[in-house]
Amino acid sequence: MTGRKPENLRSYLAVVYPALMLVVFFIVPFAIMVTISFFHRDPGAFYTPVFDIANYQNLFSALFVRVLIFSLFIAGLAAAVCVGLGFPFTYFITRMPRRFQVFWLVFLLSVLSLSEVIVGFAWSLMLSRTAGLSNLLVWLGLMNKPVSWTPSFAALLCGLCYLAFPYTVLVLYPPLSRLNPSLPEAARTLGASPLRTFFTVVVGALRNAIVAAFVMVFVFTLGAYLLPQILGRPHHWTLSVLITDRAIYQSNMPMAAAMAIFFMLVSLALVVLTMFIGKEKKVAS
Amino acid sequence: MTVKSAFCSCRNNGWRMGAWLVIIACITAIGIGLPSAFAGQTLKVGVYGGYFKDSFDKHIFPDFTKETGIKIESVAEPTGEAWLVQLEQAARAGVAPADISMIAQGPMLKGQKTRIWTPLDLNKIPNHQYLLPHFIHKYPDGRVDGIGAVSWYITLVSNTNVFKTPPTSWADMWQPDKKDKLGLLALVSNSFLLEITAKTFYGGDDILNSKQGILKVMNKLAELKPNVKLWYRDEGQFQQALQSGEIPMGQYYHDVATLAAADGYPVRSTFPKEGGINDSGCWTVSKASKKLKEAYVFINYMCRPEIQAKLSRKVGTAPTVRREVTGLSAKEFSAVSSDIPPIIPRYDLYTGELSDWISQKWTEMVTK
């Protein structure tokens, strides 16, 4: 972090432990996955450790491409919604007195303790016809009869955003709270409206934080595989759902590994592209 | 699982020799003859973890030990194929994590390919005479490799508040008034909807013998899609929705639906005239087990009509033996089974050469 070269053996030792953990818990499992993705699949059995590129050749079905595009689309949309709502929300929190800030942060942290399963079932209940919110609207006289809003695209998007929102705020909070208050004040003094100040000065100064939050939520939602099953219809199932089906229910580990690796590479390329665009803009401005 | 598979596949050659020696030693030992008294012997029995294991530990194993003197060490095994992988890898090292295991039909067929199941001699299981014929599982060459352990039904369930009259046929699911009202299992290999559709509309599962036939059945199933609100992988997801009437019809486990109805929920389970789906698990003996003699005693005990009746009463499984020998009352029997001939799943479709093709076509059909 300091950018200096370690000076003695002890400073090297300090990084041995994290490096070891990285190797054991990330690099080794990942290497096994890459290896298995090149193994030969025996239909009706498991796989034989023989080099075979067929798993990657069989990837490009219309189904795979469609599901891949949908997965990237919904993750991107969820990230956009989360950052769109989370950025102004976090900005207002940072302008609040200290104890209100603490209250909101603790509240959001406690939301994080809920598992994907609980969040999924809670949303499906809340949007159901028999016990859901629409009953409340009927009672208030705003609707004629209760309706079911789940499973649907909107239900899935709500669930994903609910899961990712606390992370968005927690990523945006440090840079926003460090934002020098004299910047927006100067803009106001020079005659900019509050809205104009927010969009040109606050958003502009924190472009990197916004890109970072977007990328984080995007990657986080790509991995969701329970919510699409609970809140979505089959054409809303993401690639993570299909990978799970292949791996667990069809014992097709080589194909599941190949799908997962390709999915990861595409997401990684998109993340790098997003970062790159963010950087370009900074240079341009 | 993946880590283990990757490692074990590279080192199994060294173990194979040892495994053979152990098997030969084991066969010799049986040939010479073990002591006839079983007192003090322990048999490791693999049972699906959770509800099944708890029920067997409570209702079945203690009485078995009391009668035969053979102690049972029950092992919780995962459902699906993970247990088969573990058994196979252990067998290569000459070890049996369980002497006897309860194995679902898909893994049964997969295990045949590596000959993991010890062939069983029916003469040593006299109670096999009570079994329904399809509960004697065989290798392609005719040797017996498994004996029906437990069986259960998937039937057509409905919410009694929403549908006042019970459905009579699986074809009822295709009716326009069921739009957005059905909950079905999401995977081709656990919903058995191909078999249901084949029996209901094409007179039997012969149509599933060719790719064209399978596609024809899938096209018929595609007509059902507008009626399906939920394709579920997790049972809990559907049961709650069925009880509340949110999703008032679908396919579900007969025994669980019957229990829910007994608890007062507005739920009924109907055996359609084409029959319910009869899925089951077999008792098998791992080729690495050295306790074949005790295993015969155990399997024979489990085939006794009164034990099957006890399982029906206490665990909710359908008897694997003929109805008339069980002594179950009409009410007890209908809580777990039916006299209507069942639809037996075509497990070969999901374990054979076509399995990946079928799964791919199925996912395309469902998600389109």
According to DSSP, the β-strands at B71-77 and B42-48 are: parallel
* pLDDT of B196 higher than 90: yes
- How far is A96 from chain B, CA to nearest CA, in Å? 42
Q: Is the pLDDT of residue B82 over 60?
A: yes
Is pLDDT above 50 for B118? Answer: yes
* Tens digit of each residue's pLDDT (9 = 90 or more) over B242-257: 999 999 999 999 988 9
Tokens, residue A237: 């199932």
Which superfamily does CATH assign the domain made up of A60-284 to?
MetI-like (1.10.3720.10)
**pTM to 2 decimal places:** 0.83
Choice among A9-13, A131-135, B216-220, B357-361 with the minimum mean pLDDT: A9-13
The pLDDT value recorded for residue B48 is 86
Q: Does residue A71 have a pLDDT over 50?
A: yes
Report CB contact under 8 Å: B246, A148: yes
Q: In the predicted model, is pLDDT for residue B35 greater than 50? A: no
Could you tell me if B278 and B343 are in contact, meaning their C-beta atoms sit under 8 angstroms apart? yes
Query: Residue range B213-227: average pLDDT?
Result: 96
Residue B205 has pLDDT above 60, yes or no: yes
Nearest CA in chain B to A43: B353
Neighbours of B50 (CB within 10 A): 11
- Model confidence band, residue A275 (pLDDT cutoffs 50, 70, 90): confident
Helices first, then strands: H and E counts in chain A: 15, 2
What pLDDT sits at residue A6?
A: 58
Q: What per-residue confidence (pLDDT) applies to B13? A: 38
Q: Is the pLDDT of residue A147 over 50?
A: yes
Please indicate if any CB of chain A lies within 8 Å of the CB of B210: no
- pLDDT at A17 exceeding the cut of 50: yes
Q: What residue segments make up the domains of chain A, in order of their start?
A: 60-284
CB contact under 8 A, A237 and B367: yes
Provide the β-strand partners of residue B137: B146
Give yes or no for residue B31 having a pLDDT over 50: no
Mean pLDDT of chain A: 89
Q: Which of B80, B229, B367 sits opposite A63 (nearest CB)?
A: B367
pLDDT at B23 over 80: no
Number of Cα atoms under 13 Å in the Cβ half of residue B261? 18
Q: Which one, of B190, B151, B150, lies nearest residue B45 by Cα?
A: B150
pLDDT at A282: 57
- Mean per-residue pLDDT for B214-242? 92
Q: Is B244 on the interface with A (CB under 8 A)?
A: yes
Lowest mean pLDDT segment, chosen from A32-41, B78-87, B270-279? B78-87
Answer whether A128 sits within 8 Å of B6, measured CB to CB: no
* Binary contact (B190, A249; C-beta < 8 A): yes
- The band of A277, judged by pLDDT with boundaries at 50, 70 and 90, is confident
R_g of chain B computed on alpha carbons = 22
**Res B5 pLDDT > 50:** no
Measure in Å the smallest separation between the Cα of A272 and chain B Cα atoms: 30
**pLDDT of B33:** 41
pLDDT band at B116 (very low <50, low <70, confident <90, very high): very high
User: What is the rounded CA–CA span in Å between residue A126 and residue A274?
Assistant: 35
Q: What angle do CA A166, A129, A242 make, to 5 degrees?
A: 55
**Residue ranges of domains in chain B, CATH in brackets:** 2-29+39-151+282-336 (3.40.190.10), 152-278+343-367 (3.40.190.10)
Cβ A44–B3 below 8 Å, yes or no?
no
Interval B145-162 mean pLDDT:
95
Nearest CA to CA, how far is A130 from chain B (Å)?
Answer: 6
For B201-229, letters b (16+ CB in 10 Å) and e give beeebebbeeeebbebbbebbeeebebbb
Tell me the shortest Cα–Cα distance from B99 to chain A, in angstroms. Answer: 22
Q: Which of residues 82-101 of B touch A (CB under 8 A)?
A: 85
Q: How far is A266 from chain B (nearest CA, A)?
A: 22
**B241 in A contact zone (CB under 8 Å):** yes
| pLDDT digits 0-9 by tens, B264-310 | 999 999 999 999 999 999 999 999 999 999 999 999 999 999 999 99
Contacts of A131 in chain B (CB under 8 A): 244, 246
Distance CA A1, CA A145 (A): 60
Q: Which residues of A touch B109 (CB under 8 A)?
A: 44
Write down the pLDDT at residue A7: 65
Average pLDDT, chain B: 88
Contact residues, chain B, for A43 at CB < 8 Å: 352-356
pLDDT score at A187 = 87
Using a CB–CB cutoff of 8 Å, tell me whether B355 touches chain A.
yes
Dihedral sign computed on CA atoms, order A17, A23, A26, A28: negative
Tell me the C-alpha distance between B61 and B71, whole Å.
8
Three-state SS sequence of chain B: CHHHHHHHHHHHHHHHHHHHHHHHHHHHHHHHCCCCCCCCCEEEEEEECCHHHHHHHHHHHHHHHHHHCCEEEEEEECCCCHHHHHHHHHHHCCCCCCCEEEEEHHHHHHHHHCCCECCECHHHCHHHHHECHHHEEECCCCCEEEEEEEEEEEEEEEECCCCCCCCCCHHHHHCHHHCCCEEEECCHHHHCHHHHHHHHHHCCHHHHHCHHHHHHHHHHHHCCHHHEEEEECCHHHHHHHHHHCCCCEEEEEHHHHHHHHHCCCCEEEECCCCCCEEEEEEEEEECCCCCHHHHHHHHHHHCCHHHHHHHHHHCCCECCECHHHHCCCHHHHHHHCCCCCCECCCHHHHHCCCHHHHHHHHHHHHHC
Lowest mean pLDDT, pick from A51-65, A163-177, B23-37: B23-37
Among B239, B246, B357, B365, the residue to mutate for chain A (most A Cβ within 10 A): B246
> How far is CA B94 from its chain centroid?
27
B6/A36 CB distance under 8 A: yes
Identity of the residue numbered B264 = G
Yes or no: say if B299 and B146 are a contact pair by the CB < 8 Å rule. Answer: no
- Read off the pLDDT of residues A185-240 as tens digits, 9 standing for 90 and up: 888 888 888 888 888 888 888 988 999 999 999 999 998 889 999 999 999 999 99
Q: Mean pLDDT: which of A1-5, B170-174, B188-192 is highest?
A: B170-174
**How confident is the model over B177-201, as a mean pLDDT?**
95
B367 touches chain A (CB under 8 A): yes
Query: Quick one: average pLDDT of A108-137?
Result: 91
Axis-axis angle for helices A62-94, A253-284 (nearest 10)? 50
Cβ neighbourhood burial of B43 (10 Å; 0-12, 13-18, 19+): buried
Location of structure tokens 């968005």: A168
In chain B, the residue whose alpha carbon lies closest to the alpha carbon of A129 is B246
- Residues forming a β-bridge with B136: B147
CB A166 within 8 A of CB A112: yes
Q: Output the pLDDT for position A43.
A: 75
| Residue A253 to residue A241: CA distance in whole angstroms | 14
* Per-residue pLDDT at B81: 76
**Neighbouring C-alpha atoms within 13 Å toward the C-beta of B313:** 13
Alpha-carbon distance B247 to nearest alpha carbon in chain A (angstroms): 10
